[in-house]
Each structure stands twice: as structure tokens, then as C-alpha cells.
């Protein structure tokens, strides 16, 4: 909510997680999707912006970090200034985090530096389809600006760890994907998927009242899969997987 601190928001999300089985089922499905795309190359796997730490339920070996100290984070890590040596990280996981980055170019520079050859960035983030853009703008507190510059710094997002532009992943990896590829040829987009056509909206997310009972999750999930082809028009979420190309020399220095 407006004016909340990060810790207050996380406490509220933890309460919602415990009280909303439909939300848990939905996120579990997305978490398993992310796990399926993790790289098996040697190196550490790190979740950035771990929030209430539920990704570790499905991937216990992934280190949970956050931009501030929380009771769920094992370490404080700034995604724009990663404390890892070059070519040492197997995976960077960003679950509902990429749209909170005020300087996405700095993060992508850092990802290019720290990932081992074959290492991956696995992103699950809001997607701005025509339907979801309308919903985000009218029923969600976070900024959704599809006219923003895709990779340039955004001081509106730098205001706090909770500030964001929900359009960021859509801009960088879909609308301006060619620009991304030119800027970071070492980070190959190996998977890009849009999903969550209607079930996420019915779940209410973390902040709104659920519109369907948890007992209907299985039949609703079947309908969700049948409607998957509509995701470009109505999807609320996307998966993007970047892989560090094997054979590229990693001589970059830490982003300043």
C-alpha cells in the first residue's frame, strides 16, 4: 500500500500467502516453470529480491537475497552492483523483481559479468498485454508506463525498493528486443513466454480479494491452458530466460 516500507509490504504478502491457497497454487506453478529453466552449469544460483522467500520452497539450493535486510533474505545484495566475481554464477533468478530495477542496463551489465558461460538469468515479471495493461493501470497501485524509455535509468523507480514500472520487461524483452540484442549480444534470449490469461486476475494477487475459491484451481488451470494462445492479447505475466553465451570473453568490469 501507499507509504508502506519494504518490511511492512513483505509482512502483508506473507499473510496473504498463508491465507490464499489459490494464490499459492498459482505461484507454485510459476516457480516450477522458473526452476525448469535453471542452468546446470557449475556455480552458485542466486535469487535477487527474494521477498518472502517462497522460491526456496521449490529450489532450496538457491541463495535468497534482497536489497534490504529481511527475515527471509540470507544476504543483502544490490542487483545493480553484484558482489560476485566474474564468471562464477550459474543462475540469477528475478521473480517479480525486474520491473523494480531503476537502472536495468546496470543490472544487465552485471549479469553479463558474473554469469559463467552457459549461466542464465531467469525472469518472471508482469507482462503488458492490452488486457493486462488496462487492469494494471486501473486496479493496481504500481506504475505501468509503456511510453518509458526501455533501458535508460528511471528516477521514478529509484525512489524506493517498492517503486516500479510494470511495463519494464515488456519494453526490454518484447517491444525493444532488437535493441536489447544489440546492446548485450552475450546474453542470448533462449526462452520468452507470455502466460496468466485470466487465473491470476481471479486470484486477486497479494492485494485484492480473490474472485474464485481455491477448490476450483484445477479446473480453472485447465481452462487457463486452453486459453494460452490468447496470452499476447490478455496475458498478465511473462517468463524471459537469458543465457551467457559460451566462448565469449568476460572481461567486463563491475558496473559503476
* pLDDT, tens digit (0-9, with 9 covering 90-100), for 156-170: 999 898 999 999 999
A 10 A CB-CB count for 213 gives 11
The structure's pTM equals 0.93
Q: Write the CA distances from 7 to 1, 64, 69, integer angstroms.
A: 12, 15, 9
Residue 205: predicted pLDDT:
86
Q: What is the pLDDT of residue 3?
A: 64
What digits encode the pLDDT tens for the residues 227-245?
A: 999 999 999 999 999 999 9
φ and ψ at residue 146, rounded to 5 degrees: -80, -5
CA-closest candidate to residue 14, choices 72, 97, 93:
72
Amino acid at each position: 500500500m501507499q507509504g508502506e516500507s519494504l518490511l511492512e509490504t513483505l509482512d502483508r504478502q506473507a499473510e496473504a500467502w498463508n491465507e490464499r491457497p489459490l494464490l499459492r497454487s498459482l505461484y507454485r506453478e510459476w516457480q516450477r516453470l522458473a526452476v525448469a529453466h535453471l542452468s546446470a552449469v557449475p556455480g552458485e544460483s542466486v535469487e535477487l529480491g527474494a521477498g518472502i522467500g517462497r522460491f526456496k520452497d521449490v529450489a532450496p539450493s538457491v541463495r535468497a537475497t534482497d536489497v534490504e535486510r529481511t527475515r527471509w533474505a540470507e544476504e543483502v545484495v544490490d542487483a545493480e552492483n553484484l558482489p560476485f566475481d566474474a564468471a562464477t554464477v550459474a543462475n540469477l533468478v528475478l521473480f517479480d523483481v525486474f520491473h523494480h530495477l531503476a537502472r536495468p542496463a546496470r543490472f544487465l551489465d552485471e549479469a553479463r559479468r558474473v554469469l559463467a558461460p552457459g549461466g542464465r538469468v531467469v525472469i518472471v515479471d508482469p507482462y503488458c498485454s492490452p488486457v493486462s495493461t488496462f487492469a494494471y493501470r486501473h486496479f493496481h497501485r504500481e506504475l505501468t508506463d509503456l511510453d518509458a524509455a526501455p533501458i535508460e535509468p528511471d528516477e521514478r523507480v529509484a525512489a524506493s525498493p517498492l517503486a516500479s514500472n510494470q511495463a519494464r520487461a515488456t519494453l526490454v524483452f518484447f517491444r525493444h528486443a532488437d535493441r536489447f540484442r544489440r546492446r548485450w549480444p552475450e546474453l542470448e534470449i533462449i526462452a520468452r513466454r507470455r502466460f496468466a490469461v485470466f487465473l491470476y486476475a481471479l486470484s486477486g494477487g497479494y492485494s485484492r480479494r480473490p474472485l474464485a475459491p481455491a477448490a476450483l484451481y484445477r479446473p480453472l488451470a485447465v481452462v487457463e491452458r486452453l486459453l494460452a494462445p490468447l496470452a499476447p492479447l490478455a496475458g498478465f505475466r511473462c517468463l524471459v530466460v537469458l543465457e551467457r553465451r559460451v566462448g565469449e570473453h568476460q572481461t567486463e568490469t563491475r558496473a559503476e
